Structure 1
Amino acid sequence: MTFNRRAVKTARLTLRPLKPSDYPLWFDALVNRFPLQSKWDLGPVAPEKCTPADFIHLIKRHKEMAKKDDWYFYGVFENHTGQLIGHVDFDIFSRNTHQFANFGYQLYNRHWGLGYGQEAAAAGLKIGFKQLKLNRLEAAINLDNHKSIRLVKAIGMEEEGIKKRYWFENGKWTDHLIYVTNPEHLGLKPNNPF
């Protein structure tokens, strides 16, 4: 299954797959993050783990996973500076009669507090429905990740409930709060899986 994965622009951002010429932007985005700001943050990455070869390997892996229709990654770039400031991703859970994926998003900590996360996530929903032809997007959020819960509410996702022992992280199975949306919630036509 192949999809037309074109860039999507908002007022301040562009979301698109990474390309080889993005290496300096990727390096800056990872190496120059602020120290950890919360337990949900990733913090900076050591420069020796961000080589040009690492980046080419990453892009190759992204392409392979997209070709298999397993997972899709879109970098979030700030239009004015060109900086890579975060990403959205789609982990395809099921196609055929379901057409749904887990919707992930991350804004790198140097860019927090400016509304970019909400702008990127809202654009990500449209990518999921318009480009990837999904019918259901769900965000699985740790129960105490209040910033992420506020973000999904702000972009119109609806709380569906708690899935027990849903995600294996930090060496244990954890419960997650599930927020969902579909094309109709955004005023879009539903996608036909056939």
Structure 2
Amino acid sequence: MVYKFETDRLLLRYFELSDASRVQDLAGNEEVARTTLSIPHPYPDGAAEQWIVNVRQFSEKGERYAFAMVKKEDGLLIGTVSIGISKRHNHAELGYWVGKPYWGQGYATEAARRILQFSFEELHLNRIFAAAIITNPGSYQVMRKIGMKEEGVFHQHIFTWGKYEDLVFYGMVKADYFRIK
């Protein structure tokens, strides 16, 4: 099944190979890469194309959904929001990034809120969680704004950019989602 969602300002749709150069441009920004857990820097040629092929295959299996965040007003791709699903545990990890020119404008919150709704109301998942590098308060502010609660800090959990970084984890279960909806 192919999913496509609209919010007030965004269209969330599957990625197309024609999006690859835009993904590489946005994700290739060092400041964007420094705020994420998995974007390489420098961003290698061909990596965006391979990533798009991979996420399309994962979505066909219902294992991972990655959506392009596209501004409705001008059709410009500005970032991504995704969920990686564990069918065995009926939960998913939420992830997102937004291109630097679009930081601080509420796009990640808007997209994440819609994907939370999709996760609980359409996929019937029981739990959604997310992690952010502790030095990226913008990311965990998104988690707070959509109603997720802080669940803890994993000290020196990842090694990135030449040093160990703490990760802060947030989560929400289905019952809490429907209680605050």
What TM-score range do you get, normalising by the shorter chain? 0.7 to 0.9
- For the Cα contact (< 8 Å) 1:33–1:110, is it kept in 2? no
**Which residue of 95, 107, 129 corresponds with 2:87?**
95
**Which residue of 9, 12, 15 corresponds with 1:15?**
12
**Which residue of 65, 69, 74 corresponds with 1:72?**
65
Deviation at 1:156, TM superposition (A): 0.8
Counterpart-to-counterpart distance in 2, 1:103 and 1:10: 17
Which has the higher Rg, Structure 1 or Structure 2?
A: 1
- Please give the TM-score of this superposition, normalised by the length of structure 1: 0.74
* Aligned residues: CA RMSD: 3.1
Paired residue secondary structure (1:117): helix
Matched residue count: 176
- Point out where structure 1 has 5 or more consecutive residues left out of the alignment: 189-194
Deviation by residue 1:3-62 (Cα, 9 ceiling, x = unmatched): x34211001001121134xx1x4423432679544731769977x8259xx63x443312
Task: Tell me which residue corresponds to 1:31.
Answer: 25
Specify the code of the residue in structure 1 equivalent to 2:22.
D
Paired residue secondary structure (1:187): helix
**Which residue of 54, 58, 74 corresponds with 1:81?**
74
Paired residue secondary structure (2:104): coil
Structure 1 67/165 Cα, relative in aligned 2: closer, same or farther at 3 Å?
farther
Deviation by residue 1:70-125 (Cα, 9 ceiling, x = unmatched): 32211111101111111111122x323x3112110111112112221211111121
- Please give the TM-score of this superposition, normalised by the length of structure 2: 0.78
Counterpart-to-counterpart distance in 1, 2:53 and 2:59: 10
Specify the code of the residue in structure 1 equivalent to 2:168.
L
- For the Cα contact (< 8 Å) 2:134–2:165, is it kept in 1? no
Map of 1:1-194 to 2, 5 A cutoff?
4-20=1-17, 23=18, 25-31=19-25, 35-37=29-31, 39-40=34-35, 49=45, 55=49, 57-92=50-85, 94-96=86-88, 98-164=89-155, 166-167=157-158, 169-170=160-161, 174-187=165-178
- Point out where structure 2 has 5 or more consecutive residues left out of the alignment: none
Deviation by residue 1:142-177 (Cα, 9 ceiling, x = unmatched): 222211121111111101112356546457765421
* Percent of residue pairs bearing the same amino acid type: 27
Q: Which shifted more, 74-83 or 141-150?
A: 141-150
Structure 1 32/157 Cα, relative in aligned 2: closer, same or farther at 3 Å?
closer
